[in-house]
Structure 1
Amino acid sequence: MQKKISMLLISCMLVFCLISVHTSAEANTSTIQRLDQLVKKIVNEKMANAEVSIAIRDDFGKVIYDFNGNRQQKPASNMKLLTSAAALTELGENYRFRTNIYTTGDVKNGILHGDLYIQGTGDPTLTVEDLDQFASFFSDQGIKKIDGRIVGDDFWFDLDLLTPDIKKDDESYYYAAPITALTLSPDSDYDSGTVIVEALGKTIGEKPRLTITPELGELVIENHAKTVAANQYSTLKIEREYRKNKVVVSGNLPINKSWKEWITVPNPTMHTLLLFKHALEKHNIQYSLDKFYHGKTPTNATLIVQKQSIPLSQLMVPYMKLSNNGIADILVKTMGKVRMDQGSTKAGLRVLKQYATSRQLNIDDWFFVDGSGMSNNNSVSSIDLTQLLFIVKGEKQWYGTFFNSLPVAANSDRMIGGSLRNRLKTPFTEGRVFAKTGAIDGVNTLSGYLIGSSGMPYTFSILVQNQKGTVPTIDEIVEAMAKEL
């Protein structure tokens, strides 16, 4: 299935590129005037109170249309377009995260006499199954007991767990997960630093049944919810208390209905270490010290075993298709560490600016405080975003990977259509729009590439803020673009 998906994505990219090599027929004046009338009509009727910035470039990079194109607006997850471009350049398609286990001791008679260090470098693909494999490896080596400390080493990154401007009400949920260099993901979506809490209504009047994936770790759950009749509304809520390890399940859940949330853990490093200890216990490996230890791996420690992640080229698909904020934050810190030996958001953002400057982007027109787009203080214009997207087409080494990571309009496969799988389903747009979505409170954005009805490729960006529920209107504008061009 993975090979089939990859081939389909490559085919889409090849079609787009083959179209691009033909001489672009510049859209004539009457076409642009007609499009301008349509866009203004849609904006005036449906987004009159919103702030809107729209830009379109042709295959030569010329701006052929803009509506407030230079207005600085919030990009939301369109910020990931710059983060991705910088990461593919600075880290490379083949970059892999590594999780290492070191020891400062020796094994005698089945006992490891010395400390064990589990050292992370930010791998968002690390799972509890990997921890189980580590424990299985020790068991196969005849280790039955660790007579020393088990130490979590997350010093590849700094100790600032959250990016700037994360709201209090968001901290409980996966899109605002804390970031450390030693973190676990509950599934192959790679929402690191979270557990999946699923509630199922089984018996009316009783509490819903809860399933936790992978395990609670340091979290504790209070279940105050109730299963109600099938004809009642669901009011179920699953939320972690602010800055605490308590998860509260409340409200009503109709019988035979289920609900799940990806809930953040307060400290991903501690969570990983606790689940690693559980893995050791499952393999009957004892440890003498139960306390959580946090420290740097000594330079004289011996590497025992290492887990490598999938390459960045493969990670790009779940990251961009599903708009994974955690991976964006991890990539920013990783660029800071690799290029500046500072695993911080600030250092990583300096690397983003260096990439942008090296590609002659108007970086003075950009303002950003994170790489995911979560902050309301990020700003950029649609003209600047289309400039980035046009320049990216010239990145011969990795443009195919970048293009294949973009959601494809109306493709129902989650790892192809991504956040556009249920959008832009008309004949003019289905399978012809390849773009990154974005959404934060009162903001919706869409930037990428489209194939017009003429068969010619275009680069576009639509940024809307200060109005909720604008996705259908944005799609209407994109359809007008695709139809008229």
Structure 2
Amino acid sequence: MKKKVSMFLTSCIVAFGLFGVHTSAEASTSQIQTLDQSVQKIVSEKMADADVSIAIRDEKGNVIYDLNGNQKQKPASNMKLLTSAAALEILGENYRFKTNAFYTGKIKNGVLKGDIYLQGTGDPTLNKEDLEQFVGSISALGIKQIDGRIVADDFWFDQDLLTPGIDEDDESYYYAAPITALTTSPNNDYDSGTIIVEAKGEKVGDKPTLTITPELGDLVIENNSKTVESNQPNTITIERQFRTNKIVVSGNVPINKSLKEWVTVQNPTTHTITMFKHLLDQKNVQYSKDKLYRAKTPNNAKLIAQKQSMPLSQLMIPYMKLSNNGIADILVKTMGKEKMHQGSTKAGLKVLREYAKSRHLNIDEWSFEDGSGMSHSNRVSSINLTQLLFTVQKEKWFNTYFNSLPVAANPERMVGGTLRNRLKSPLTAEKVIAKTGSLSGVNTLSGYLIGNSGKPYTFSILVQNKSGTIPAIDAIVEVMAGQL
């Protein structure tokens, strides 16, 4: 499948001609006038009272059409377009996150007279199986008892677990997961800082059966839900109580029905170390102190094992195709750490601005307080977003960047991504490669499209202060594709 996906995306790049020189004629005045009439009609009929900013550039980078193009609006996850560009430039396509296990002291007769350190650098791909391998490596050293501490070293990042603008109502859900340098993911989408809780009704009157992936760690569950008859409504909810480690399951689930929820952990470091200790227990490795310790790894500590993530070029696929906020937040802090020696959102955002300035983008016209797009305080115009999208075509890593974007109407999850069920018209299917964005009252779409003429264009559509605007946005894109 990887070969098939790679060949498809390569063909898209060739079709776009983004690496070649075009000599085709520019869009005519009459084309643009017709386009404007069609766009204005959709906006007035389907997005009345909404704030709309639209811009289109041709293959030479000229703005050939805009509607409120300089109006600054909320980009939602279109913010990731800048974060990804900066990460590929600053960290590089071959960047890998590393997690290390160390020990101090001496091993004698199966007893470690010293400490075990688990040191993280924010790897969003770290999982339970990796922790099991660390435990296996400890056991392979002949250690049967740890006469010391189990220590978490998560000092690569700061202790601001959430980015600005995360609402209380969001904190339980995967798209607002907390970030530490020592975190784990429950799946290959790399939803770091979460666990998956599934509740299934199996016997009327009983509580639903709960399945936890990978395991509770330091979380606790209070199951107040009930299984009801099949004709009853499904009212079950699975939420972590605000600022606690308690997950509450409540409501009713019909028999043979289920609900699966990705629930955030309260503190990823605590959760990871607790899970690590459970695995030590399963391997019959005894340890004497149960308290969580946080400390930096001493310089004289001895390496037990190291886990490296996939390179950033590969991580870009699940990150951008599925619009993973956690990975975006981790990349921002990582850039801050690598470039400014501060693993913080504030430092990382400075790096984003420095990258943008180095590429002569009008970054002073951007406003942002995170790299994922979750904040409602972020602002950018469609003209500035298309400037970014045009400029990055010259970067040596553009192939990786382009391949990471969702492809309209392609049913393969890691190709179509968040666009796999959209833009299915023959005019747009697999001819629109773009980043989606969504917040309460906000929908955005920015990227690349091949017009009906066969020419490539860069576009951005930002809509705010109105819900349910995706069909209207897609209608505008279809008009663009058909009339350009």
What TM-score results when the alignment is normalised by the length of structure 1? 0.98
Aligned partner of 2:343 in structure 1 is 343
* 1:11 Cα deviation after fit: 3.1
* 1:20 Cα deviation after fit: 5.0
* 1:18 Cα deviation after fit: 6.5
Counterpart of 1:393 in 2: which secondary structure?
A: helix
C-alpha distance in structure 1 between counterparts of 2:272 and 2:334, whole Å: 19
Aligned partner of 1:460 in structure 2 is 459
Aligned partner of 2:374 in structure 1 is 374
* 1:172 Cα deviation after fit: 0.5
Counterpart of 2:17 in 1: which secondary structure?
A: helix
C-alpha distance in structure 1 between counterparts of 2:141 and 2:6, whole Å: 38
8 A contact 2:198–2:259 mirrored in 1: yes
C-alpha distance in structure 2 between counterparts of 1:8 and 1:58, whole Å: 23
* 1:110 Cα deviation after fit: 1.6
1:363-442 alignment runs, 5 A limit: 363-395=363-395, 397-442=396-441
C-alpha distance in structure 2 between counterparts of 1:130 and 1:364, whole Å: 42
The residue identity in structure 2 corresponding to 1:422 is N
Counterpart of 2:406 in 1: which secondary structure?
A: coil
C-alpha distance in structure 1 between counterparts of 2:104 and 2:19, whole Å: 59
* 1:120 Cα deviation after fit: 0.3
8 A contact 1:184–1:268 mirrored in 2: yes
8 A contact 1:20–1:457 mirrored in 2: no
1:254-403 alignment runs, 5 A limit: 254-395=254-395, 397-403=396-402
The residue identity in structure 1 corresponding to 2:57 is R
Counterpart of 1:79 in 2: which secondary structure?
A: helix
- Deviation digits for residues 214-251 of structure 1, max 9, x if unmatched? 11011111111122222222111111000011111111
* 1:341 Cα deviation after fit: 0.1
More displaced stretch, 110-119 vs 305-314? 110-119
C-alpha distance in structure 2 between counterparts of 1:409 and 1:61, whole Å: 23
- Is residue 111 of structure 2 the alignment partner of residue 111 of structure 1? yes
Counterpart of 2:394 in 1: which secondary structure?
A: coil
Aligned partner of 2:445 in structure 1 is 446
- Deviation digits for residues 70-105 of structure 1, max 9, x if unmatched? 000000000000000000000000000000111111
C-alpha distance in structure 2 between counterparts of 1:17 and 1:138, whole Å: 53
The residue identity in structure 2 corresponding to 1:432 is K
8 A contact 2:205–2:227 mirrored in 1: yes
The residue identity in structure 1 corresponding to 2:475 is E
C-alpha distance in structure 1 between counterparts of 2:409 and 2:226, whole Å: 37
Aligned partner of 2:85 in structure 1 is 85
Counterpart of 1:261 in 2: which secondary structure?
A: strand
* 1:456 Cα deviation after fit: 0.5
C-alpha distance in structure 2 between counterparts of 1:209 and 1:7, whole Å: 44
- Deviation digits for residues 176-202 of structure 1, max 9, x if unmatched? 010000000000000100000011111
What TM-score results when the alignment is normalised by the length of structure 2? 0.98
Counterpart of 2:270 in 1: which secondary structure?
A: helix
8 A contact 1:20–1:456 mirrored in 2: no
8 A contact 1:20–1:59 mirrored in 2: no
The residue identity in structure 1 corresponding to 2:315 is L
Counterpart of 1:118 in 2: which secondary structure?
A: strand
* 1:56 Cα deviation after fit: 0.2
> Please, which runs of 5 or more residues in structure 2 have no aligned partner?
none
Counterpart of 2:306 in 1: which secondary structure?
A: strand
> Please, which runs of 5 or more residues in structure 1 have no aligned partner?
none
More displaced stretch, 13-22 vs 257-266? 13-22
C-alpha distance in structure 1 between counterparts of 2:3 and 2:146, whole Å: 42
- Deviation digits for residues 93-143 of structure 1, max 9, x if unmatched? 000000011111122222221111100000000000000011112222222
8 A contact 2:18–2:59 mirrored in 1: no
C-alpha distance in structure 2 between counterparts of 1:340 and 1:435, whole Å: 31
* 1:24 Cα deviation after fit: 3.6
8 A contact 2:225–2:253 mirrored in 1: yes
C-alpha distance in structure 2 between counterparts of 1:239 and 1:65, whole Å: 45
More displaced stretch, 420-429 vs 219-228? 219-228
8 A contact 2:157–2:333 mirrored in 1: yes
C-alpha distance in structure 1 between counterparts of 2:474 and 2:20, whole Å: 23
Counterpart of 2:275 in 1: which secondary structure?
A: helix
C-alpha distance in structure 1 between counterparts of 2:155 and 2:98, whole Å: 13
Query: Alpha carbons of 1:350 and 1:35: their partners in 2 closer, same or farther (altered >3 Å)?
Result: same
C-alpha distance in structure 1 between counterparts of 2:200 and 2:6, whole Å: 35
C-alpha distance in structure 2 between counterparts of 1:375 and 1:174, whole Å: 15
C-alpha distance in structure 2 between counterparts of 1:18 and 1:179, whole Å: 36
* 1:258 Cα deviation after fit: 1.6
Counterpart of 1:378 in 2: which secondary structure?
A: coil
Counterpart of 1:262 in 2: which secondary structure?
A: strand
8 A contact 2:218–2:275 mirrored in 1: no
C-alpha distance in structure 2 between counterparts of 1:375 and 1:316, whole Å: 21
Counterpart of 2:259 in 1: which secondary structure?
A: strand
Aligned partner of 1:243 in structure 2 is 243
- Is residue 14 of structure 2 the alignment partner of residue 14 of structure 1? yes
8 A contact 1:409–1:432 mirrored in 2: yes
Aligned partner of 1:145 in structure 2 is 145
* 1:19 Cα deviation after fit: 8.3
More displaced stretch, 289-298 vs 421-430? 289-298
Query: Alpha carbons of 1:169 and 1:18: their partners in 2 closer, same or farther (altered >3 Å)?
Result: closer
More displaced stretch, 252-261 vs 118-127? 252-261
Aligned partner of 1:134 in structure 2 is 134
- Deviation digits for residues 306-356 of structure 1, max 9, x if unmatched? 100000000000000000000000000000000000000000000000000
More displaced stretch, 16-25 vs 452-461? 16-25
Query: Alpha carbons of 1:141 and 1:204: their partners in 2 closer, same or farther (altered >3 Å)?
Result: same
C-alpha distance in structure 2 between counterparts of 1:234 and 1:20, whole Å: 55
The residue identity in structure 2 corresponding to 1:315 is L
1:177-188 alignment runs, 5 A limit: 177-188=177-188
C-alpha distance in structure 1 between counterparts of 2:170 and 2:412, whole Å: 28
8 A contact 2:55–2:63 mirrored in 1: yes
C-alpha distance in structure 2 between counterparts of 1:231 and 1:348, whole Å: 51
C-alpha distance in structure 2 between counterparts of 1:52 and 1:232, whole Å: 42
C-alpha distance in structure 1 between counterparts of 2:20 and 2:77, whole Å: 26
Aligned partner of 1:123 in structure 2 is 123
Aligned partner of 2:475 in structure 1 is 476
C-alpha distance in structure 2 between counterparts of 1:336 and 1:258, whole Å: 42
C-alpha distance in structure 1 between counterparts of 2:285 and 2:9, whole Å: 45
The residue identity in structure 2 corresponding to 1:470 is T
Counterpart of 1:297 in 2: which secondary structure?
A: coil
C-alpha distance in structure 1 between counterparts of 2:245 and 2:137, whole Å: 31
The residue identity in structure 1 corresponding to 2:116 is L
- Is residue 44 of structure 2 the alignment partner of residue 63 of structure 1? no
C-alpha distance in structure 1 between counterparts of 2:86 and 2:385, whole Å: 14
